Structure 1
Amino acid sequence: MTRWWVAVAWIEELLNQGGKQVDELEVYFFSGTSVSADLKQRRVSLCSSSVETGLCIRTIDKGKIGSSSTNDPQQWQACLDAAIAGGRLATPMVWKGLPDPVALPDADLAFDPALFVEPETANDLLRGMLDGATAYPDATVTSGGAGISVGEIAFANSHGVRYASRQSGVSISLEAISGQSTGYEFDHACSPSQVNPQRVGERATFLASRSSGGKDIPSGEYDVILSPMAYADLLSAIFVPALNGRNVLQGRSKLAGKIGEAVTAPQLSLFDDPHRPGASGSTWFDAEGTPTRRLDFVRNGTLTGFAYDLKTAYRAGRQSTGSAIRGGFAGLPAIGHHNFVVDGKRDEIFDEPAIYVHSVVGAHTANPMSGDFSVEMSNPFWVRDGELAEPIRGAMLTGNFFDLHRQVTALGKESRAVGSYILPPVKINNVRVIGK
């Protein structure tokens, strides 16, 4: 919501004082409450609540950027002094100014006003997962958790920007074991009505129960279906870093210089959609106060653009794409995305034999420059007659992810949120599998 948050009027005094000492400054203030509850087997082992506040100040003077943060807003004067002092020691850079204010819509995109942050809500979510877990009684619940949070962000700068937005979040997860096989599932959204705890419990125990007794497969090339979870892991480790304008500018992106070229299969489109109602990353403005917009990276297989924040855009002679994010109130703005969406023509992808991969282990070891990767498959199954059939034991996926993106043959019909990604399962032909 773009209303100004009256409760933090002290920010005006901060801006007034800072404006007398530096060319520009911005203020990012967060206040929120949360409740979490953890399971140990089928019992609640811990339930906790917290109240968090945080302030981050960034100053710019003669191209020198300084910053400081604190979790005690009453210490804003000391925080401002530290940011200004740090800026004096910084190396000057090309800087063309903080954003000016614009009129933004009033609706909060990622907030449920009916959400109550209380232990009983978290316990209801835990009970729902445990109820779902009874569908496969041979699997034992080992752990799980539920978290609920609401928060408000106030953002202001010396150019007159005064924005505020409210956010809410619900997350659940469950892990189960059957013999030597484990299963894990999760869900997250802005509202309890958007998550399905029974489904999470059932799916976690299904994966544990059905993965038991897996058989080895010989090495070779197979048609593979990556679940949204497995696909998101590889996408975030390899392809998404290549869309980062800073990596492009520094020559660390395999996609640099390829605007207008085909970089994926033609049925794929990849974009950031920050205005999607109900999606966890939705926002009208980014972490630097730049208005957000849909940003197309790949359209029908063709590379169309990269993501930039202010600092990188100025260095590259471009404009910010509204892609600045923060990793918490103490984190400085950096290039990221809000809701990274993979879309395109949908089809039935389980109607022919393939290997289904629920998740992967080791995506962080991939080489984002070359795209080469080798990961362990977790909870893989043969796909037969439209269903998950026999489990597979101990196998690896290997190859080049940029090449595999060109080999995507179909997208599944339903998408799901995995962190900041919204994407379907994908089917890729002729993937190298290392078995026994």
Structure 2
Amino acid sequence: MAWIEELFKQGEKRVDELEVYCFSGTSVSADLKQRRVSLCSSSIETGLCIRTIDKGKIGSSSTNDPQQWQACLDAAIAGGHLATQQEWRGLPDPVTLPVEDLAYDPSLVIEPAMAHDLLREMLNGAAAHPEASVTSGGAGIAAGEITFANSHGIRYASRQSEVSISLEAISGQSTGYEFDHAFSRALVNPERVGEQAAFLASRSAGGKDIPSGEYDVILSPMAYADLLGNIFVPALNGRNVLQGRSKLAGRIGESVTAPLLSLYDDPHRKGAGGSTWFDAEGTPTRRLDFVRDGILTAFAYDLKTAYRAGKGSTGSAIRGGFAGLPAIGHHNFVVDGKRDEIFDEPAIYVHSVVGAHTANPMSGDFSVEMSNPFWVKDGGLAEPIRGAMLSGNFFDLHRQVVALGKESRAVGSYILPPVKINKVRVIGK
């Protein structure tokens, strides 16, 4: 990529600082419609994003053709001329980072045949519950490389890969959904995904109504991640804190969850999908403890927000693709604490929820529909429950967590166990 050096040579004559984020990757995906492949596609993707800083004014531009970098640079500089000047103390300097790729399988074969095999194995798993019919599903294999450079001399690169699968099934009026994802083909279990989706659909059929009231509830990792990501995690965002849009603002050192909970970002976890040695602005990443034993200890910052707040970046900048600008996020959000048996007493198990995006992240109030809920009896799932909702305040419920399940799983960028919460408001009939 000799053109990158030429880009800096030209750009440094015109602006104070600039950075380059370049992505290249290949992928294959296949979709099911019922039990037939409805679409299979492969792609080769490249992209470039240039960000310029001059006298505190930030400009940016992106293109999917890196060979057009000169026009992209011109557009970024022109955009910077129109930007509002802000507090800025410079891009990061280079440091020596490990060269190991944390979530990359060099033996991964990205071809339609593998996607076909993944779909076939999910269908084989779903066949264990013939009363359920497959409605849709998908499989994807991808690998890519990121090159990051800036005018301070940073020249970083990293590679990542991912295999993802999902299946949805139906039995009568009941549906079931399951998924899996990992950086290597060997770490996903398509037969289990198919079997679990069909099980949830078939087992949920014939559910009975329950009266409204307070119940002990077990949230699966999927249900917990949905509520956590829409309500609690935004309150840890330094920009929301700075703008007065976080319920946790001003509460560093205070108890904000049950004492058994610790929440942290672990960007160096081997094999986790978000693992990286540097963030989207070239800042070295590190473990960031948000909550330790129930006590709030930190917020997340990128460079721009940190400078506004008079702090330093926590290495928390992420991008939503090569065209996305850096924004505050996390890499691998982990929920941890002492593990216990959580299915040994009666409770309601909730596999997933619908409507978490409608929650109020400022107050924490939410009302969501339970999907695939079951009574828990004798250490396992018993009778299904029909049409009920969970409601309450998630910040309050986080204080009522009484136990964490023994096994964690990855749900997108979250790594977390099922959680048991006492006295949750359930709206039934």
Q: 2:245 aligns with which of 237, 252, 269?
A: 252
* Partner residue, 1:37: 30
Number of residue pairs matched by the alignment: 429
Flag structure 2 segments of 5+ consecutive residues without an equivalent: none
1:86-121 per-residue CA deviation (whole Å, 9 max, x = no partner) reads: 000101000000000000001000100110110111
Which residue of structure 1 aligns with residue 67 of structure 2? 74
Matches within 5 A, 1:212-361: 212-361=205-354
Q: Secondary structure at the match of 2:366?
A: strand
One-letter amino acid matched to 2:45: E
- Give the counterpart letter for 1:114 in structure 2: S
Tell me the residue number matched to 2:367: 374
Show the 5 A alignment for 1:104-143: 104-143=97-136
Deviation at 1:45, TM superposition (A): 1.4
Give the AA of the match of 1:172.
Answer: I
**d(CA) in 2 for partners of 1:231, 1:423:** 8
Other-structure match for 1:5? none
2:176 — aligned with what? 183
Query: What is the alpha-carbon distance in structure 1 between the residues aligned to residue 21 and residue 185 of structure 2?
Result: 28
1:165 has 2:158 as partner: yes
Distance, in Å, in 2 between the alignment partners of 1:114 and 1:319 is 39
User: Aligned partners of 1:122 and 1:298: how far apart in 2?
Assistant: 39
Aligned match for 1:148, one of 141, 157, 168: 141
Matched residue type, 1:107: E
Question: Secondary structure of 2:139's partner?
Answer: strand
Matched, 1:203 2:193: no
Matched residue, 1:397: 390
What is the one-letter code of the residue matched to 1:267? Answer: L
1:146-192 alpha-carbon deviations (Å, 9 max, x no partner): 00000000000000000000010110000000001000000011111
Q: Which residue of structure 1 aligns with residue 357 of structure 2? A: 364
For residues 21-72 of structure 1, give each alpha carbon's deviation from its aligned partner in whole angstroms, at most 9, with x where no partner exists.
0000000000000000111111111111001000000000000000000001
- Secondary structure of 1:79's counterpart equals helix
Deviations 1:308-331 (A, max 9, x none): 000000000000000000000000
Following superposition, the deviation at residue 278 of structure 1 comes to 0.4
Q: How far did residue 9 of structure 1 move?
A: 1.9
Aligned to 2:52: 59
SS of the equivalent of 1:232 reads helix
Q: Distance in 1 between matches of 2:182 and 2:168?
A: 19
Give the TM-score, by structure 2 length: 1.00
Separation in 2 of the partners of 1:222 and 1:89?
55
Distance in 2 separating the partners of 1:148 and 1:124: 12
Which letter maps to 2:228? Answer: L
Q: Distance in 1 between matches of 2:18 and 2:412?
A: 31
Partner residue of 2:427? 434
Partners of 2:419 and 2:314 in 1: CA distance: 28
Q: Which runs of 4+ in 1 moved over 3 A?
A: none
Letter in 1 for 2:421: I
Spell out, residue by residue over 1:314-350, the C-alpha distance to the aligned partner (whole angstroms, 9 max, x if none).
Answer: 0000000000000000000000000000000000000
Q: Which position in structure 2 is the counterpart of 1:102?
A: 95
The whole-number CA distance in structure 1 between the counterparts of 2:119 and 2:306 is 45
